[in-house]
Structure 1
């Protein structure tokens, strides 16, 4: 009996050591191959144009978080607290993206901000969504960059997340001078970044007819409070140069309680993210832009920020009942002020 117990103890010890080695090797793999580019990288433009942005002329911009094409009404994403890890099938992704592109085209935008486009991700059957959309919107200059990447994630066991590459993408009817990916670091422990990597801003510079620049900032945030000061600093710096700034995308958190003149709610004023002399929100406060597929709760998380030298003419959220994404499209009509 004693020999048997000794052999059992040795066997259990060997199994534990092997399991520990596998875990350590996996952590080493994730840490070694984690996407961790420099804080600022320059990104190339595809299909660039030649025209500068006109002044005092109505223009249109659209933002849409397409949810990697998977978010049909019956899809409940695991990382958002649901049960589904991957889309139903490739046809669902293609159909959802096609319908969303129809919505985008209907708004006739000169500028488009898109978020959560997958490239070679397991959850979207390794589709190249930037390329798919580029082929349809082929009359625009375009640029895309990773918002975040995760190497092969093994949980949940049996139906793992796998490789995940989520991108931001901006389209312009005008010439693009320069694109930058600016990393947004998080105040978390190093091992937490293995599963919660840094995200980024996609900053695009477009010349205007009055020899300034229109600066586009495309974003999909998860912790808006942590990055408000960085965003505010960029906006104020560019405005001081007499440039125009449009921030568009998914702010990842409620931007409710916005007053009739589109000023920020009290919670954001407390974060000191409010400067009435420099910028203001352009948000449709009458229509929800985000639906939680698990609780069916809805909120306003998507919209724009304009510097004060941009005149807002109209802002509208499309009432699509969240048929193809858990977000809705938001469109604005605006003019760049000559002054």
Structure 2
């Protein structure tokens, strides 16, 4: 008996030491972004955006091309940690790229774009988008961890973020760190979300078109992180609008934008309502006519799926909205989100 207890104690001791080593490594290597950081603007674009001219902007959470219709993702109540195989990711990404080109938006906001992640087989999706879409691109990190130790099998390395692309000239782009709801030690292997603000010169004007790409927190306990992040974005819009700039925010709010009340099945992630009381009089929240933009449980079969409207835009009143719609033709085949397309023009 004593020998068994000794072996057991030794095993527990080794496990504890290994845990401390992992914790120390993650702490030393923790991604610690500054409150505001410059983002490198990639590619070439010289044409400036003009006032009183119609443009299209698309937002699409592409789910790192790893959340296609066949994926039963564990964070949505399913059983799968990784996509089925690399070919699934490659096929999904090829189709995401094809659909993005067909939509033909002047501005494209992508979320969950992987640069070097085990979950997407280390495919550099940023580089592929740059090579295929051209123009100016700005990529901001949201998730940078050398080794995510959970669940089983562990997610491993993740380098991922949000990407803004346009054939119009981006003068500069900045990353703003958002409030982090995760506490130590979970924080060490979790997302550090930030939003990107790209500043585009407006032809024959001293105003700027400020294009903001967002992806707010999702799987937190409660919704305090999302509320704090939403308030930060509203304050940012307010600040830029007071400078006389045009401000357009787009992305994945991870909050229900519509007024539709739904009963959430057990085990399915439930997005909290977007705090519309935070909006100022000169701001307008836009989404695709209550059409659903995300499927919260997988795999998607088209029947009895729990759907939400969490992708959309906020615009200031110096931007005229022409039309907004959810592109339903993708039908969650290649991502758990549908693209949302907004047509607009800057007022004189």
TM-score, normalised on structure 2? Answer: 0.88
Q: How many residues align?
A: 323
Which residue of structure 1 aligns with residue 47 of structure 2?
51
| Equivalent residues of 1:65, 1:327 under 8 A apart | yes
Which residue of structure 1 aligns with residue 22 of structure 2?
26
Following the alignment from structure 1 to structure 2, what is the Cα–Cα distance between the partners of residues 325 and 13?
47
| Equivalent residues of 1:285, 1:300 under 8 A apart | no
Which of 277, 281, 293 lines up with 1:289 in the alignment? 293
Shift of residue 195, structure 1, vs aligned partner: 3.3
- CA gap of 1:316–1:163, structure 2 versus 1, over 3 A, is same
Following the alignment from structure 1 to structure 2, what is the Cα–Cα distance between the partners of residues 133 and 87?
20
Following the alignment from structure 1 to structure 2, what is the Cα–Cα distance between the partners of residues 81 and 267?
20
- Structure 2: gaps of 5 or more residues: 218-224, 261-271, 299-303
Instruction: Spell out, residue by residue over 1:113-150, the C-alpha distance to the aligned partner (whole angstroms, 9 max, x if none).
Output: 00001122111111101111111102x21111211223
Which of 83, 101, 108 lines up with 2:104 in the alignment? 108
Shift of residue 287, structure 1, vs aligned partner: 1.3
Which residue of structure 2 aligns with residue 321 of structure 1?
331
Which of 311, 314, 323 lines up with 1:305 in the alignment? 314
| Equivalent residues of 1:50, 1:174 under 8 A apart | yes
Structure label with greater radius of gyration: 1
- CA gap of 1:334–1:86, structure 2 versus 1, over 3 A, is same
Shift of residue 224, structure 1, vs aligned partner: 2.5
Which residue of structure 2 aligns with residue 274 of structure 1?
279
Identify the range of structure 1 (293-302 vs 244-253) with the bigger mean alpha-carbon deviation: 293-302
Which residue of structure 2 aligns with residue 99 of structure 1?
95
Instruction: Spell out, residue by residue over 1:163-206, the C-alpha distance to the aligned partner (whole angstroms, 9 max, x if none).
Output: 11221100122111111111112244322312333211011110
Q: Secondary structure at the match of 2:37?
A: strand
Shift of residue 283, structure 1, vs aligned partner: 1.3
Question: Is 1:129 the equivalent of 2:117?
Answer: no
Question: Is 1:190 the equivalent of 2:192?
Answer: no
- CA gap of 1:187–1:98, structure 2 versus 1, over 3 A, is closer
Following the alignment from structure 2 to structure 1, what is the Cα–Cα distance between the partners of residues 228 and 94?
34
Which residue of structure 1 aligns with residue 136 of structure 2?
141
- CA gap of 1:112–1:239, structure 2 versus 1, over 3 A, is same
Following the alignment from structure 2 to structure 1, what is the Cα–Cα distance between the partners of residues 309 and 39?
30
Which of 28, 33, 38 lines up with 1:37 in the alignment? 33
Which residue of structure 2 aligns with residue 69 of structure 1?
65
**RMSD over aligned Cα, in angstroms?**
1.8
Shift of residue 268, structure 1, vs aligned partner: 4.4
Shift of residue 323, structure 1, vs aligned partner: 0.9
Which residue of structure 1 aligns with residue 169 of structure 2?
175
- Structure 1: gaps of 5 or more residues: 259-265
Q: Secondary structure at the match of 1:198?
A: coil
Instruction: Spell out, residue by residue over 1:94-125, the C-alpha distance to the aligned partner (whole angstroms, 9 max, x if none).
Output: 22122122222222211110000112211111
Question: Is 1:165 the equivalent of 2:167?
Answer: no
Which of 16, 23, 31 lines up with 2:12 in the alignment? 16
Instruction: Spell out, residue by residue over 1:230-275, the C-alpha distance to the aligned partner (whole angstroms, 9 max, x if none).
Output: 11110001000110011011111211118xxxxxxx9545x63121
Shift of residue 51, structure 1, vs aligned partner: 1.9
Instruction: Spell out, residue by residue over 1:5-33, the C-alpha distance to the aligned partner (whole angstroms, 9 max, x if none).
Output: 33333332222221111111111111111
Shift of residue 79, structure 1, vs aligned partner: 2.8
Following the alignment from structure 1 to structure 2, what is the Cα–Cα distance between the partners of residues 267 and 82?
23
Which of 248, 252, 265 lines up with 2:254 in the alignment? 252
TM-score, normalised on structure 1? Answer: 0.90
Shift of residue 218, structure 1, vs aligned partner: 0.5
